[in-house]
Amino acid sequence: MSVFKKIINREIESNIVYEDDLVIAFLDISQATKAHTLVVPKKDYQNIYQLDEKTAGHLFKVVVKISQAIKKAFQPDGLNIVNNNGAVAGQSVFHYHIHIIPRYKGDDFSIKYVNHSQDYSKEDFIKIKETIINSLS
């Protein structure tokens, strides 16, 4: 059983900030930044590919609601929404979750985006776009 399922079942302690029938939100134990919060569906979805539409929609509403509460409470200078899927993407708990990471000037959190646009021709972009479009079902 995942650590988040144990939190949902109250088998281990956590600092819960919100809960309803479908989702729960609690402080991430690492506190990458102050008020770093996780929003988690109660059902055992491992990753984004397993999420159903109803849960996904509701989950994001809760993410917005909690982000607004954190903004009101702590006045961060910015905020990242992060979701890791798969170990290679940094996922360490295999129960779906969204990180709300408030950002404060001078904090030490980072996500690095490297610009690789020079490696792609206009045709490459079109080909990638069309491949995605063709995969939408």
Residues at the contact surface with ligand 5GP, assessed by CB under 6 A: 3, 12, 14, 26-30, 84, 90-93
To the query of whether residue 58 is one of the catalytic residues in this protein, the response is: no
Judged by beta carbon, residue 87 or residue 133, the one nearer ligand 5GP is 87
- State which amino acid sits at residue 53: E
Distance (Å, rounded) from C-alpha 99 to C-alpha 80?
A: 8
Judged by beta carbon, residue 31 or residue 124, the one nearer ligand 5GP is 31
Q: How far is CA 131 from the centre of its chain?
A: 26
Minimum CB–partner distance for residue 127 and ligand 5GP (Å)? 31
Number of residues that this document lists for the chain: 137
Minimum CB–partner distance for residue 117 and ligand 5GP (Å)? 27
Long-range CB pairs of 80-83, under 8 A, 24+ apart, other chains included: 80/109, 80/111, 82/111, 83/48
Judged by beta carbon, residue 80 or residue 91, the one nearer ligand 5GP is 91
Name the residues annotated as catalytic: 97
